[in-house]
Amino acid sequence: MNVIVIGKPRIDVTEIVDNFPLEGKDKKITKRIISNGGISVYVACMLAKWGINVYYSGVVGGEEEGIKLKSKLEEYHIDTKFVEVNYETKTNKNYSVLNESNGTRTNIIFDNEQFLTKHKFDFDPDYIIVDGTDMAAMDTASRNDMYEKAKMIMLANVVSKEYYNLSKRCAYIVASENFASALTKIAINYNKSKTLVDVMQKIQDLENAKYTLNLLNHGTLYVKDRQVKYIPKIEVKPVDNLMMEAAFLGAFCYGIISDLDMDVIGKICNMACYKASEKLGTIDNILDKQEIFDACSIKVDTKPETMETTESKQVEESNNNANTEASNV
């Protein structure tokens, strides 16, 4: 099974403070961390760590940090022959202030608009995973005449016409609440669980791709056997929210590639998302597969049809919570 991850690598520069400073006021940092980052890089390393054969495609700068980022991918035994090194510019950077008191970040992103110049691969991948940052590369990779057997998994967290058009050529979409609401024109109200059902029903009417919604601070929403299912958030003490989205996507991709049951996939996605927030969001803190499966009471490497799992909550109309009968899509 060959998998290629396409996206924008970056360097994360994190300034840690005990609480967020007031505007116009000085604040002393408690610690500075410089690490390799980017959703696509995290996902590629997570999949490789979890036993998947991974190729990576993205652009790094020719400075020392960019070369080290490429080397970090190789430490995870990721094939980097499709990584382009641009010696005329520097690697993208994300400057963050991390509030230790609640694990939230304020990001200032330096994006030098580096995009891949080579969009063709010398093999036919089984899965193509894209983080939504290089539209031209995603567009080429998604065309059926390019890679006939490949299934594309896309992170959809940006509301735009280009994303909507591309989503129609994907097999699986991991979408944000904002993307799903903009697509369906239905606002999710967590006090009215019918809105959860309505969003997923409308998506299934509009799209061919199979959608899973990462609701971040509210849980996970997906469809199995034409039934909408909801898994509530897990209460944790957050340290850093930077890689919650990446961990969710990584767990989802692992589940799809491994042909796991959708209830299992929903559960490990939800768990990975919140477990990731308990650690600093760096490549060196990528979650262990055993840790996630144990937390979900699932046996690792159990065959999908016999894998043990706890039932997820199913969604129905309720003004109090979303813990009732599933609704057909």
Tokens of 80: 């980097």
- Judge whether 89 and 112 are in contact, CB under 8 Å: yes
CB atoms under 10 Å from CB of 141, counted, come to 25
Provide the residue type at 227 as one letter.
Q
Cα–Cα distance for residue pair 226/242, rounded to 1 Å: 33
Provide the residue type at 232 as one letter.
P
pLDDT the model gives residue 308? 47
pLDDT the model gives residue 144? 64
Task: Tell me the C-alpha to C-alpha distance, in Å, between residue 12 and each of 27, 41, 60, 91, 109.
Answer: 20, 12, 13, 10, 9
Chain mean position to CA 16:
24
Tokens of 44: 């590629």
Residues of the chain with pLDDT under 50: 303-312, 316-326, 329
pLDDT the model gives residue 135? 81
Cα–Cα distance for residue pair 234/219, rounded to 1 Å: 7
Q: Residue 295 contacts by C-beta under 8 Å, 6 or more apart in sequence?
A: 271, 275
pLDDT the model gives residue 164? 84
- Judge whether 107 and 95 are in contact, CB under 8 Å: yes
pLDDT digits (tens, 9 = 90+) for 236-266: 999 999 999 999 999 999 999 999 999 999 9
Q: Which domains are present in the chain?
A: 2-314 (3.40.1190.20)
Cα–Cα distance for residue pair 216/197, rounded to 1 Å: 17
CB-count burial class (<10 Å; 0-12, 13-18, 19+) for 135: middle
- Judge whether 227 and 327 are in contact, CB under 8 Å: yes
Cα–Cα distance for residue pair 6/303, rounded to 1 Å: 29
The DSSP code for 21 is P
